[in-house]
A and B are shown apart, each in its own frame.
Chain A
Amino acid sequence: GENVEQHPSTLSVQEGDSAVIKCTYSDSASNYFPWYKQELGKRPQLIIDIRSNVGEKKDQRIAVTLNKTAKHFSLHITETQPEDSAVYFCAASIGGNNRLAFGKGNQVVVIP
């Protein structure tokens, strides 16, 4: 199958705390895993991505980890700020043309 599952669906955190979103995928051939942030009515913005040849990648307050054996990858946001509030989508590449299958999204609310 080509399913990408994302948990939890909503997440509320206090400002300054960390937020973690987890995704699982089913296609063992998937080799590219981006994370997108989407604010209401706006386009998805790529915030970080990881390829299957690495296990972890970090960019300032954002990090992504990948476990190929278990077929899951996670987004970690540290020192959350109110502007981190948005919907976050994970995705995994599928098929010979490397199109993306998206998770259902996670509404993150950072409480000031």
Chain B
Amino acid sequence: GAVVSQHPSRVICKSGTSVKIECRSLDFQATTMFWYRQFPKQSLMLMATSNEGSKATYEQGVEKDKFLINHASLTLSTLTVTSAHPEDSSFYICSARATSLLNEQFFGPGTRLTVL
């Protein structure tokens, strides 16, 4: 149980384009999902907290207009990187949490974004 999927696993795009990443909880309802980015050999940096049916809460320093988050259902959250630039290249990982599972967060497999 507690499986989280993420799509796509890898994406390469041109500078200036937008990229959408999907995060799905496959066998449980995720009232809250989290989006992280991870640079090579570094820790997970929380970008935003996404609650189903409400606006996402962004961490300090994360531009909400650049990283659009939508949590339209209890099993799906999306992150759209708008007008991507090479510095946005990173490993983006989502996690999902269900109320019934207390605080446990289960991670998706991540999306490797490369912006040319």
* CB–CB B109/A44 < 8 A: no
Which B residue sits closest to A33, measured CB to CB? B103
**Stretch touching chain B among A60-68, A73-81, A101-109:** A101-109
Cβ of A43 and Cβ of B49 under 8 Å apart? Answer: no
Chain A, range 83-112, C-beta contacts under 8 Å to B = 89, 93, 97-105
Is A46 close to B, CB under 8 A?
yes
In the complex, B75 has a CB within 8 A of chain A: no
In the complex, residue of chain A having the shortest beta-carbon distance to the beta carbon of B34: A99
Is A44 in contact with B107, judged by CB distance below 8 angstroms?
A: yes
Q: Does residue B105 face the partner (Cβ distance < 8 Å to A)?
A: yes
Residue pair A97, B43 in contact (C-beta under 8 Å): no
- State the total of A-B contacts with C-beta under 8 angstroms: 48
CA distance A43 to B110 in the complex (A): 6
Number of B residues with CB within 8 Å of any CB on chain A: 20
A99 surroundings in chain B (CB, below 8 A): 34, 46, 49
Contacts of A105 in B (CB 8 A): 42-43
Question: How many Å lie between the Cα of A97 and that of B51 in the bound state?
Answer: 10
B49 near A42 with CB under 8 A, answer: no
What are the residues of chain B within 8 A of A102 when measuring CB–CB? 43-46
Q: Note all chain A residues with C-beta closer than 8 A to B103.
A: 32, 34, 49, 51, 93, 98
Residues of A within 8 A of B102 (CB): 32
Measured CB to CB, the residues of B under 8 A from A are 32, 34, 42-46, 49, 51, 57, 93, 102-110
Q: A43-B107, A43-B109, A102-B44 are in contact. List 4 more A-B contacts (CB 8 A).
A: A34-B105, A43-B108, A99-B34, A104-B42
